[in-house]
């Protein structure tokens, strides 16, 4: 069984343009994520999915320099990019990952993939009922299920958000949502705005070992330290 990860990224983010190539401590946001994915024993291939827009040429350039596969497709039809990648790379199962998740815990991917491989599911996720922080999202999807459903993925919302079609029609699919013991769904560990970047920079500055070794619970503790420090200073 061929298992892949597809990272969706673009430079034209409305809230923070160019965020995926923004550098923190000498590394881009995207590189932090890629380093973490390299720890995943369950992944055979990682593909960065970006658009054909001129603004996304730097992403393709970074991927070439870093040595990771990059596929460029339609800007607005992200689901279409995924379809084309699945047809090219022949993944049996894939993990959908957002490029604004530089601190995504690889153990959560391992957990989701293990549940998928050992259960009778079409999708294993932790976002249907969110209890993990944003930026720790895992969605493991059966490729055949996605490809067979693609003709129905027609709306702007479905094409942009890729998996929302399945959640809106969850009664039709075998979906397993795994939860955290902590109620941390309201915590923002993804990098979506300039304020998020400032928090991310402070979290990285507090790390005293390779960043990919930090589990999401440890990162959550660092996040709370940063936020509490800011409250005291104000």
DSSP assignment of 51-67: ESSGGGHHHHHHHHHHT
Instruction: For residue range 96-134, list pLDDT tens digits in order.
Output: 999 999 999 999 999 999 999 999 999 999 999 999 999
Q: What's the predicted TM-score (pTM) here? A: 0.96
Q: Where are the beta strands (DSSP E) in the chain?
A: 3-8, 23-24, 27-28, 45-51, 69-73, 93-98, 123-125, 139-142, 175-177
What pLDDT shows up at residue 14?
A: 75
Instruction: For residue range 162-215, list pLDDT tens digits in order.
Output: 999 999 999 999 999 999 999 999 999 999 999 999 999 999 999 999 999 999
Q: Check whether 67 has a pLDDT greater than 70.
A: yes
Count: domains in the chain: 1
Domain of residue 45, residue span:
3-233
Q: Check whether 234 has a pLDDT greater than 70.
A: no
> CATH number of the domain that 91 lies in?
3.90.550.10
> Which range among 8-17, 30-39, 76-85, 138-147 shows the weakest confidence by mean pLDDT?
8-17
Q: Please, are residues 61 and 9 in contact by the beta-carbon 8 Å criterion?
A: no
């Amino acid at each position: 069984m061929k298992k892949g990860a597809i990272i969706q990224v673009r430079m034209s983010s409305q809230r923070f343009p160019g965020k995926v190539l923004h550098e923190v401590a000498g590394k881009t946001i995207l590189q932090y994520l890629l380093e973490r994915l390299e720890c995943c024993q369950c992944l055979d291939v990682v593909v960065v999915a970006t658009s054909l827009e001129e603004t996304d040429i730097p992403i393709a350039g970074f991927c070439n320099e870093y040595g990771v596969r990059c596929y460029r497709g339609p800007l607005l039809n992200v689901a279409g990019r995924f379809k084309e990648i699945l047809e090219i790379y022949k993944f049996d199962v894939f993990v959908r990952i957002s490029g604004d998740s530089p601190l995504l815990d690889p153990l959560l991917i391992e957990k989701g993939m293990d549940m998928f491989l050992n259960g009778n599911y079409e999708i294993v996720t932790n976002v249907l009922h969110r209890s993990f922080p944003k930026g720790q999202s895992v969605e493991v999807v059966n490729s055949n299920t996605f490809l067979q459903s693609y003709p129905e993925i027609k709306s702007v919302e479905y094409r942009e958000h890729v998996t929302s079609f399945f959640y809106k029609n969850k009664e039709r699919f075998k979906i397993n949502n795994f939860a955290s013991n902590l109620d941390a769904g309201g915590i923002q560990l993804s990098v979506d705005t300039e304020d998020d970047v400032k928090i991310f920079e402070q979290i990285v500055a507090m790390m005293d070992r390779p960043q990919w070794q930090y589990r999401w619970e440890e990162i959550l503790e660092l996040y709370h330290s940063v936020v509490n420090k800011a409250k005291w200073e104000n």
